Chain A
Amino acid sequence: MLLIGDTVQGLLGSRHYRIIDRLGEGGQGAVFLADDGRGEVAVKWYHRQNAVEQQREMIARLIRMGPPGGEAGRRFVWPLDVVTKKGDLSFGYVMPAVNLKSYAELGQVWARLRPTPGMRQRCRISWQLAQAYRQLHLAGYCYRDISMGNFLFDPKSGEVLIIDNDNIGINQQSGSRILGTMEFMAPEVITGRQVPSTSTDLYSLAVLLFYFWIWHHPMHGMLEYNVRVWDIPAKKRIYGEMPVFIFDPRDGSNRLPADPEYQTPLRFWDACPKSIRDLFIRSFTDGIRNPDRRVTEGEWVHAFRQLENQIARCPHDRAENFWQPGMKQLQCWHCHRRFDAPPRFVISSSSGLKHVLVLPETKLRRSELEPFCSEESMDEVVAEVIQNPNNPNVWGLRNLTGESWQFMPADGSEPREVVSGRAVPISAGHEVKIGYQTNLRIEV
């Protein structure tokens, strides 16, 4: 085992790493902060029983192949070097150090050690997580051990990091000693019919997102509650052999028990937007029996990006509420009072319809107007809601695209050009043509 002050030797670059602090420990090994003479890095050092040659080879291979590309690929804290210590049979690997003051684990949020992310941040964290796994899968990898302990997020900014990437393998190729964490494993992995793959990753991702939104395991209902001897066979039965979703609309055999400790998920389920509830239902009903019906990473990304733009604060208590298409009014989940839905931008493009609530702080990003823009430019602000300085009751949408828009007033009068930097008034029925394929309509 490593001690503070020890030095470990890198195998790839012959670099030395001096251990300066202990950051934490998990099932496979302990993580240390180290100094390589140029800056701080993290070193994961395996428990002796987990330090097997197959693991070492896999890490070396991951280092050679590199992380997935693009913005999402940078969210993986990827191994940089394999390290050993003289006289020690174990080994470890080096990875970039993470600023743990900014990033939190979900368990820390539950224990109220870190702030709970707001709804907008939750959406951002969720789509970033799904996008990262999408990018990983596109690169031919599978993660194999998606679980609560392997992802970190910044509750304020909504940025995501994925850690413990040493279990990543090549989909359908690499063997592994890792089957995952039982709570997150797909039923076919638990029952031994399949080994972890991108398809089973999709199931684990749905469980992780369920934990993130509902703070509960999707199968922990009456069936789990009534188990008197909680052991491995019981877990296999609940998660693998006869999994029943607690909110399955057709099978009520595993509803939440009337126990105070099981009421939180009910409250969060009620507050969860219908579009997301529908995806969870599919994941844990059809998706259990038929892996082809599992919700893909792209579907999660699309759903959560939509929701990010559909959050309205209750005027009475400032609680964040989700608006869903068709709603004229919202009922606050917190104070239960009703309030009118804000106006919406209805954006139609080649990828379909999008709704963005018109709020003083609303900004349209390039991905909202150009669905197939590059990943790097997705977050670029291309339009913003502004207030008329001479008449605060008049609101407008300022064009920041660098190109002209065509504005079509609701009264049917002549279309007008809106050059970059100028704004169109926000009023029901007005339409704006943006580029060749995107149309924006204001709906009240």
Chain B
Amino acid sequence: MSDRTGPASASVRLPAHTWFDVRRGSSHVRTGLPCQDAAAVWRGRLPQGQVTILVVADGHGDSKYDLSEHGARLAVQTALHCLRSFCRRFNTSSSLLYDAIRHDFAHRLTRQWRQAVLRHYSENFPQDVELLNRPSINLYRRYGTTLLFSLAFDDCLIGGQIGDGDMTVTHTGGDVGRPIPAAERLIANETHSLISADSIRLWRFCRWTLHEPCLICLSTDGLSNGMASDESFGDFLRSLVRNIEQYSFAETVKVVPGFLDRVSAGGSGDDVSLALFWQADPRRKKKK
């Protein structure tokens, strides 16, 4: 997994920067709740070439999901492991990888996440022999979380999502694309998640051709919910791109954590996670 900040490993052909942060929500700070979001970025060389994976997860907030911060963390770790494994095994073409992810990722991930949850539970609650011997949905429910990932290589972005959260691709011209369109919300702010009945069928996947330069952005719903409108969310993304162009990626991300804290404090109070991947245009750099 990459560092929390800073440019990813250097790539001559495609200079790229990645960054992520997980901010504890203002209401969580106030009430003493842990941060229930998780995020990670991985960038490295796989058979596809230089691959960048962004993952964010949002553990459920209600008291009946009391271990959801672990659920989110385990989901992020499992997703990274699973995606890297898919990249290694389905590497002859991007179409093959996309098909494999679309058809097989959800149930492979769900199974591995459940195994990870069971391991975590047995390590932390070894005395609960009855539940460990017969793990039921009640156990997994305590770890409930959403999950959102993107995997980028060459000009190809493959994404997947269960539950809420936002995946966007913002170009220098100001266009904000949504590879996975926002779905209608469920009743009472509920969301689909890894613990939903039939969860493997609730995933949505996308493939998207990237135009450089662009900013791929994954965020939990704490960010977009904390904004006044969809337009404000779009403005925020466009401002990131403008600042990256004007000042550099490293300078831009320095001020983002403070901004995320303000969004949480002034909005829903929810945790906020943000993962970014900036793919600069090498041709532009040459001109400079």
Q: Which residues of A contact B (CB under 8 A)?
A: 1, 3-4, 22, 25-28, 30, 47, 49-50, 107, 110-113, 181-183, 215, 217, 229-232, 259-261, 264
Say yes or no for B239: interface residue by CB 8 A criterion.
no
Whether the pair B89, A25 counts as a contact (CB closer than 8 A) is: no
State which of A3, A27, A49, A231 has its C-beta within 8 Å of the C-beta of B99: A27
Whether the pair A231, B201 counts as a contact (CB closer than 8 A) is: no
Report if A26-B89 is in contact (Cβ < 8 Å); known contacts: A182-B99, A261-B110, A264-B201: no
Once the chains are docked, how many angstroms separate the CA of A229 from the CA of B208? 27
Nearest Cβ on chain B to A210's Cβ, whole angstroms: 14
Once the chains are docked, how many angstroms separate the CA of A4 from the CA of B174? 13
Say yes or no for B17: interface residue by CB 8 A criterion.
no
The tally of CB-CB contacts under 8 A between chains A and B is 69
Majority-rule SS of B interface residues: mixed
Q: How many residues on B have C-beta within 8 angstroms of the other chain's C-beta atoms?
A: 35
**Set of chain B residues within 8 Å of A26, measured between Cβ atoms:** 98, 207
Whether the pair A110, B201 counts as a contact (CB closer than 8 A) is: yes
Say yes or no for B90: interface residue by CB 8 A criterion.
yes
Once the chains are docked, how many angstroms separate the CA of A47 from the CA of B260? 37
Chain B residue at minimal CB-CB distance from A45: B209
Once the chains are docked, how many angstroms separate the CA of A1 from the CA of B155? 10
Once the chains are docked, how many angstroms separate the CA of A311 from the CA of B198? 26
Once the chains are docked, how many angstroms separate the CA of A26 from the CA of B203? 16
Say yes or no for B108: interface residue by CB 8 A criterion.
yes
Report if A261-B93 is in contact (Cβ < 8 Å); known contacts: A25-B206, A113-B183, A181-B99: no
**Set of chain B residues within 8 Å of A49, measured between Cβ atoms:** 93-94
State which of A1, A183, A261 has its C-beta within 8 Å of the C-beta of B111: A261
Report if A111-B204 is in contact (Cβ < 8 Å); known contacts: A27-B95, A28-B95: yes
Whether the pair A25, B111 counts as a contact (CB closer than 8 A) is: no
20 more A-B contacts (CB under 8 A) besides A110-B198, A261-B199, A264-B198? A4-B175, A22-B177, A25-B206, A25-B209, A26-B207, A27-B94, A27-B96, A27-B99, A47-B94, A47-B209, A50-B95, A110-B201, A110-B202, A111-B203, A181-B99, A181-B103, A182-B99, A232-B90, A232-B96, A260-B137
What are some 26 contacts across the A-B interface (CB < 8 A)?
Answer: A1-B155, A1-B211, A4-B175, A25-B209, A26-B98, A26-B207, A27-B96, A27-B98, A27-B207, A47-B94, A49-B94, A50-B95, A110-B201, A111-B202, A113-B184, A181-B103, A230-B89, A230-B104, A230-B108, A231-B89, A259-B111, A261-B107, A261-B110, A261-B198, A261-B199, A264-B198
**Set of chain A residues within 8 Å of B90, measured between Cβ atoms:** 231-232
Nearest Cβ on chain A to B147's Cβ, whole angstroms: 14
Whether the pair A3, B201 counts as a contact (CB closer than 8 A) is: no
Which B145-172 residues have a C-beta within 8 angstroms of A? 155
**Set of chain B residues within 8 Å of A183, measured between Cβ atoms:** 99, 103
Say yes or no for B200: interface residue by CB 8 A criterion.
yes
Once the chains are docked, how many angstroms separate the CA of A112 from the CA of B184? 10
Which B232-283 residues have a C-beta within 8 angstroms of A? none
Nearest Cβ on chain A to B202's Cβ, whole angstroms: 5
**Set of chain A residues within 8 Å of B199, measured between Cβ atoms:** 261
Once the chains are docked, how many angstroms separate the CA of A25 from the CA of B104? 19
Once the chains are docked, how many angstroms separate the CA of A93 from the CA of B95? 19
Chain B residue at minimal CB-CB distance from A113: B183
**Set of chain B residues within 8 Å of A28, measured between Cβ atoms:** 95
Chain A residue at minimal CB-CB distance from B105: A230
**Set of chain A residues within 8 Å of B209, measured between Cβ atoms:** 1, 25, 30, 47
